[in-house]
Structure 1
Amino acid sequence: MKNLYLFLILSAFFSSACLAEVSLEEKKALMGLYNSTNGNHWVKKWDLNAPVSQWHGVKVIDDKVVEVNLFRNNLMGQLPVDIANLKYLTVLNLAFNSITGELPKEISNLARLRVLKLEMNRLKGEIPQEIGNLKQLEELSAFNNFLSGSIPNSIGNIKTLRILNLSSNALKGNIPDSLGELTALETLGLFENTLEGAIPVEMGNLKNLKELVLANNSLNGEIPREFEQLASLEIFQIQNNDFNSFKNLELLETRAFLVFDYDKNDRDIEFKDFDIDRKVRMADTKFEDSIEDIDK
């Protein structure tokens, strides 16, 4: 009798666990994403009658949606504003799709978000100033879109940011001084925009920076002396800009870079000791997104 009683309790427990489901608000937000991005034409479609935890790319923990990973899944259309109702989301990977329209400012309400990957889509318009509210964000990748306007100063509020890649867009204006406050930053890609003005000297504070790609813009002035402080720098690309002087590159003369690209024909100094493997090029490989990366 005791065994039967235990069996009934365990059966009830596992039955309730199987029936457990995310909140109606979160499910509606997911269905809104499905409908607004032409879910019927996705590569891997959702069975809207199945439990949310069984939907492709959706990770549920404790009845809460914590991850949506729809990498390379033929999403077409605009992001709905009610995506902000996925309030427990830590990872949103919508890279390599055909998402159009503007990035809704409501996305900044995803306070727990750590990874936001939007690269290789067709997003346009400005990056919302509210993006700085994502105080736990560690990776923001939106390269190869049609984003315009200036880089929001508020990005400097995201002190946890390790990867920021906004390359190959139509961003303009100056690089904001506030980027110098991102002291955890390891990768900064602003390649192929229409950025202008001098590089902020505050960027010399980025002691953990390993990759800095500023090539193919309209930056001018000189390379900041403060770049001597970038002890972790391994990849440094500044070619195809309008710099007035490369004099301060002498300060980096003894570094063993993996990649170092600059406008060689315009410089008036010679380097003696660079140890450069010119087979490695961040600008050529920045569109790669490995399976390991998207499973994080």
Structure 2
Amino acid sequence: MHFKSSHIRQFWFILIISVGLNGFVNAQISQQEKAALLDFHQRMAGENWKNAWNLEEDVLSWEGVKVKDGKVVEINLFNNGLVGVLPESIGQLKNLTHLNLAFNSITGELPKQLIQLSSLKVLKLEMNRIKGELSESIGQLENLEELTAFNNFLTGNIPESLGSLKNLKVLNLSSNNLKGQIPNSLGSLSKLESLGLFENALEGNIPSEMGKLSNLKELVLANNRLGGAIPIEFGQLASLKILQIQNNRFESFNSLRLMNTKELLAFDHDAGADFNFDFDNPNKDKTRMVDTKFEDDDIDNK
């Protein structure tokens, strides 16, 4: 069977146009999602952002917005001059997997509609001025792998429901005004690699369940009001590289002797001079996580 060259050219032309139109259609987002983005832009003083959105252009050109298959899957507006309270309409962006709003001037409480983002894997809210309590409903974000909200004004207790986030690898709620005890449920986070609760008002004993965190590499609990004895189960934390527990109210550090401290890269405590621990890492004086201050010139010191 033979085809004329003109027919072949016509075939390829139609195919190219079809693919192009399909890509154009896929690039469009629903009116609901676009409305949510426009509301977000208005409520967060978008006209003053460092990298402003040109609302006359296609959504694909908007800074920090990623669209896949016609759905908004990522918003990354790190250090972009956002000001104001997160709008309830953010819950309409149900396909988001990444939301990074760190290092801005976001105020007010987190909207309860945030839990509607059921596909969310990464939620970064650090270095803002967010207040209020973390809702127990946050445990419904079952796909969450990273939750960072350090250096805000969060209050209340750490939600027990965080223990339901079985995919969580990073949890950092340091430098807030959290109180109460560390929930036992955090011991269920089998994939957790980094836990930062530094500089809050946490009290009570460290849960023994935390000894189950076999993948934990960083544990930062310094500058709280934790008491009692260091759990003997700490000896089971085989992956631990950074442990910082200084400036608390512990009554006994004896369990630390059961730990393989030679594997630690940073170990900050105030157990006393009679506790002599060995380190494999010769650079003992390198910057510790707990000593690092995250500051930005555009954000007033807290």
- Same-fold call, TM cutoff 0.5: yes
Offset, 1:12: 4.5
| Long gaps (5+) in structure 1 | 290-296
Aligned equivalent of 1:292: none
Question: Which range moves more in the overlay, 154-163 or 15-24?
Answer: 15-24
2:300 aligned residue:
none
- Determine the structure 2 residue equivalent to 1:156: 163
Question: 2:258 aligns to what?
Answer: 251
Query: Is residue 44–residue 82 contact of structure 2 (8 Å, CA) maintained in 1?
Result: yes
Q: What is the CA–CA distance in structure 2 between the aligned matches of 1:8 and 1:253, rounded to whole Å?
A: 67
* 1:273 counterpart = 2:278: yes
Q: Which amino acid aligns with 2:275?
A: E
Contact map agreement 2:123 2:144 (CA 8 A) in 1: yes
Following superposition, the deviation at residue 72 of structure 1 comes to 0.4
Separation of aligned partners in 1, 2:223 and 2:97? 33
State the one-letter code of the partner of 1:96: F
Alignment of 1:94-109 (within 5 A): 94-109=101-116
Q: Give the secondary structure class of the aligned counterpart of 2:147.
A: strand
- Match runs of 1:17-166 below 5 Å: 17-18=23-24, 20-166=27-173
Residue by residue, what CA displacement relative to the aligned partner does 1:254-296 show, whole Å, maximum 9, x if unpaired? 43211100114xx37422533352213011336399xxxxxxx
For residues 256 and 288 of structure 1, the distance between their equivalents in structure 2, rounded to whole angstroms, comes to 31
Cα offset for 1:9? Answer: 4.3
Contact 1:37 1:75 in 2 (8 A): yes
Find runs of 4+ consecutive structure 1 residues off by over 6 angstroms.
Answer: none
How many Å separate the matches in 2 of 1:128 and 1:101? 14
Query: What's the TM-score, normalizing by structure 1?
Result: 0.93
Q: Which residue of 2 is the match for residue 11 of structure 1?
A: 17
Deviates more, 1:164-173 or 1:247-256: 247-256
1:4-35, Cα deviation, whole Å (9 max, x unpaired): 35314422441453354100111111111111
- Computed over aligned residues only, the root mean square deviation of the Cα atoms, in angstroms, reads 1.7
Amino acid in structure 1 at the alignment position of 2:279: F
Residue 243 of structure 2 corresponds to residue 236 of structure 1: yes
Distance 2:262 2:290 in 1: 20
Counterpart in 2 of 1:168? Answer: 175
Task: Tell me by how many angstroms 1:50 deviates.
Answer: 1.4
Q: Count the aligned residue pairs.
A: 287
Change (3 A) 1:31 1:91: same
Percent identity over paired residues: 57
Q: Secondary structure at the match of 2:280?
A: coil
Q: Give the residue type in structure 2 aligned to 1:18.
A: F
Is 1:202 the counterpart of 2:209 in the alignment?
Answer: yes
Shift of the 11–190 alpha-carbon distance from structure 1 to 2, 3 Å rule, reads same
Q: Which moved more, 1:2-11 or 1:184-193?
A: 2-11
Residue aligning to 2:229: 222
- Confirm or deny: 8 A CA contact 1:250 1:271 kept in the other structure: no
Q: Deviations over 1:109-154 (max 9, x none)?
A: 1111100000000000001111100101100000000000000000
Where does the alignment leave 5 or more consecutive residues of structure 2 unmatched? 1-5, 297-302
Instruction: Give yes or no for contact 1:246–1:268 (8 Å, CA) kept in 2.
Output: no
The SS at the match of 2:211 is helix
Contact 2:265/2:279, CA 8 A, preserved across alignment: no
Would you say the 8 A contact 1:253–1:271 is kept in 2? no
Q: 1:273 to 1:284 in 2, by over 3 A?
A: closer
Q: How big is the shift at 1:47? A: 1.2
Contact residue 240 and residue 263 of structure 2 kept, 8 A: no
